[in-house]
């Protein structure tokens, strides 16, 4: 018989588990064991970060995308998407708003929009760092050539988010058009790390065709790659994509995965994501209680927030909105956490 408590104990002490152990834990639905896992993960997060939750201001700078990922509402084939691109001035205005709210990390996320090529984005990053030298800049702009990643790094970008989406190549092929390959994505992740970024990867929970074995592969890949950040959220269908009729992923399973990730990677920055908060009531609080330590409120201008629609009903108000930071801090206080004014780097990273 599987001793689940032993697996949790091993995760706590060794920060590791075998494929069979991870599979057993993922398949376990016993409420007592799930609560023990959650408590172990929360305790680990508190050991690393105390009662601090770091906030990142998310600036969705463009929804133009040359890619056609089957799950994503801003894929190029979606003719119904109303496209926009923020100017550098608009991006800088978002940063000014965010800075005044006490945010010290700005995440510039967008589709693979080649109007924001190497040079234009590098200039924006350099200007943000010139105006706010005490802030970190995170980029999330998809797959690019190593020399472009390097230019952006030299311009001052500190971190880069690029989810691997699934560590299984056959599953990857079912979620993406033929021209996108898992191998290319992993190559990008390796080069980002080599350049010196704090690197984030991650995956959707419950994406079409995903099996529980795929999730084990994701966890083992992540353990091996040892990223600084891991983003996980439930898959949520978007009506104007080929997966529009698919079921959403499970919020509870996402929480369980956050807890396992926290124990596998005790120091990693793990967000309670917008997708989690869209699907679950009090998703932010639940994510933090499951071992996450980051929340990314939306700093994009109001008039474009509806347009960066990766999935249906994406939340962008309340604790999801930068104007809601005071409310978010209240939600955190309710569960015994606080938000320091800090870049919230990966522990031990100095730049």
Among the listed ranges 169-177, 234-242, 253-261, 293-301, the one in contact with ligand SAH (CB under 6 A) is 234-242
d(CA 77, CA 327): 37
Burial of residue 138, with CB atoms counted within 10 A of its CB: 0-12 exposed, 13-18 middle, 19 or more buried: buried
Among the listed ranges 24-32, 42-50, 104-112, 152-160, the one in contact with ligand SAH (CB under 6 A) is 104-112
Residue 179 CB, shortest distance to ligand SAH, in Å, is 14
What are the helix (H) ranges across the chain?
4-14, 19-27, 31-49, 88-100, 118-131, 146-155, 169-175, 182-195, 212-225, 251-264, 274-279, 283-289, 302-305, 325-334
- Lookup: tokens for 298: 């939306």
Contact 165, 71 (CB under 8 A): no
Based on the shown chain and the rule CB under 6 A, indicate whether residue 310 belongs to the binding site for ligand SAH.
Answer: yes
Residues 108-147 that bind ligand SAH (CB under 6 A): 109, 111-112, 140, 142
User: Using the rule CB under 6 A, which residue among 49, 54, 64, 71 binds ligand SAH?
Assistant: 71
User: Using the rule CB under 6 A, which residue among 132, 152, 172, 311 binds ligand SAH?
Assistant: 311
User: Using the rule CB under 6 A, which residue among 57, 156, 208, 233 binds ligand SAH?
Assistant: 233
Residue where the block lists tokens 């472009």: 148
Based on the shown chain and the rule CB under 6 A, indicate whether residue 287 belongs to the binding site for ligand SAH.
Answer: no
Residue 40 CB, shortest distance to ligand SAH, in Å, is 26
Polymer length of the chain: 351
- Lookup: tokens for 242: 């080929």
Nearer to ligand SAH, 314 or 329 (CB): 314
Residues 159-218 that bind ligand SAH (CB under 6 A): 162-163, 165, 204
d(CA 200, CA 193): 10
d(CA 240, CA 218): 27
Contact 124, 93 (CB under 8 A): no
Build a one-symbol-per-residue string for 251-280: x at contacts with ligand SAH by CB under 6 A, - elsewhere.
Answer: ------------------------x-----
Of 140, 201, 200, 209, nearest in space to 168 by CA? 209
- Lookup: tokens for 46: 């508190």
Judged by CB under 6 A, the number of residues near ligand SAH is 18
Based on the shown chain and the rule CB under 6 A, indicate whether residue 238 belongs to the binding site for ligand SAH.
Answer: yes
Based on the shown chain and the rule CB under 6 A, indicate whether residue 76 belongs to the binding site for ligand SAH.
Answer: no
Based on the shown chain and the rule CB under 6 A, indicate whether residue 104 belongs to the binding site for ligand SAH.
Answer: no
Residue 311 CB, shortest distance to ligand SAH, in Å, is 4
Among the listed ranges 40-48, 129-137, 157-165, 295-303, the one in contact with ligand SAH (CB under 6 A) is 157-165
- Lookup: tokens for 57: 């201001």
Among the listed ranges 105-113, 173-181, 218-226, 257-265, the one in contact with ligand SAH (CB under 6 A) is 105-113
Residues 24-53 that bind ligand SAH (CB under 6 A): none
Residue 303 CB, shortest distance to ligand SAH, in Å, is 20
Element (H, E) at 203: strand 198-205
What per-residue string of b and e applies to 308-333 under the rule 16 or more CB within 10 Å gives b? bbbbeebbbeebbbbebbeebbebbe
Residue 279 CB, shortest distance to ligand SAH, in Å, is 9
Residues at the interface with ligand SAH (CB under 6 A): 71-72, 109, 111-112, 140, 142, 162-163, 165, 204, 233, 235-236, 238, 275, 310-311
């Amino acid at each position: 018989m599987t001793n689940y408590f032993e697996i949790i104990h091993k995760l706590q002490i060794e920060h590791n588990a075998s494929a069979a152990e991870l599979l057993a834990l993922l398949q376990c639905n016993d409420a007592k064991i799930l609560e023990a896992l959650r408590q172990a993960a929360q305790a680990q997060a508190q050991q690393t970060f105390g009662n601090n939750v770091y906030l990142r201001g998310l600036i969705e700078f463009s929804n133009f995308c040359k890619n056609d990922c089957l799950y994503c509402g801003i894929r190029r084939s979606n003719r119904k998407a109303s496209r926009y691109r923020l100017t550098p001035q608009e991006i800088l205005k978002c940063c000014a708003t965010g800075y005044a709210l006490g945010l010290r990390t700005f995440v510039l996320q967008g589709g693979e929009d080649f109007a924001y090529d190497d040079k234009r984005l590098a200039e924006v990053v350099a200007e943000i760092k010139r105006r706010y030298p005490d802030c970190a800049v995170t980029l999330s702009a998809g797959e690019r050539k190593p020399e472009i990643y390097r230019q952006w790094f030299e311009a001052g970008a500190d971190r880069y988010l690029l989810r691997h989406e699934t560590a299984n190549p056959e599953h990857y092929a079912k979620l993406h058009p033929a021209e996108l390959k898992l191998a290319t994505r992993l190559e990008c992740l390796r080069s980002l790390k080599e350049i010196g970024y704090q690197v984030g990867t991650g995956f959707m929970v419950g994406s079409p065709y995903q099996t529980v074995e795929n999730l084990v592969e994701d966890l083992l890949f992540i353990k091996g790659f040892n990223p600084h950040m891991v983003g996980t959220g439930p898959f949520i269908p978007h009506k104007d994509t080929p997966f529009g009729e698919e079921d959403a992923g499970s919020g509870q399973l996402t929480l369980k995965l956050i807890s396992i990730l926290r124990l596998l990677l005790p120091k990693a920055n793990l967000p309670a994501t917008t997708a989690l908060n869209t699907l679950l009531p009090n998703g932010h609080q639940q994510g933090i209680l499951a071992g996450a330590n980051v929340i990314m409120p939306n700093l994009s201008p109001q008039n474009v927030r509806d347009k960066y629609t990766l999935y249906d009903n994406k939340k962008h108000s309340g604790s999801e909105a930068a104007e809601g930071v005071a409310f978010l801090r209240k939600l955190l206080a309710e569960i015994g956490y606080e938000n320091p004014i800090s870049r919230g780097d990966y522990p031990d990273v100095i730049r």
